[in-house]
Amino acid sequence: MNRENKPRLLNRLNRIEGQVRGIARMVEEDRYCIDVLTQIQAVRAALSKVETEMLRDHLGHCIEGAIVSGDKEEQRAKAAELVQLLERTAR
């Protein structure tokens, strides 16, 4: 992970955690379903942004490092990890 992005990602994740706690409160308070669903969509969008940033970091750091190293085995392993991740996402 890119160390420069770490504080920003942790900050986003902390905000998401707060959003999820807020959703739980909304459910406890029997809030209107559409309001709860709207907040769930907001959490999904926020997590998607974190996921995109993590993927960008992985490509720019881990995969690029494997390419630069010239180690074919490491390159194949990193590519296989990424393919497995994308396969899980597609399910």
Residue 81 has pLDDT above 80, yes or no: yes
- CA 51, CA 86: separation in Å to the nearest integer? 12
Residue range 37-64: average pLDDT?
Answer: 95
Residue 23 CA to residue 27 CA, distance in Å, equals 6
- pLDDT, averaged across the chain: 94
Exposure of 78 by Cβ count < 10 A (0-12 exposed, 13-18 middle, 19+ buried)?
buried
What are the residue boundaries of the structural domains of the chain, listed by start? 6-90
What global pTM score does this model have?
Answer: 0.84
Task: Provide the percentage of residues in the chain whose pLDDT is more than 90.
Answer: 90
How many whole angstroms separate alpha carbon 78 and alpha carbon 75?
A: 5
The domain defined by 6-90 carries CATH number 1.10.260.40 = no
Tens digits of residue pLDDT in 53-67: 999 999 999 999 999
DSSP type of residue 60: I
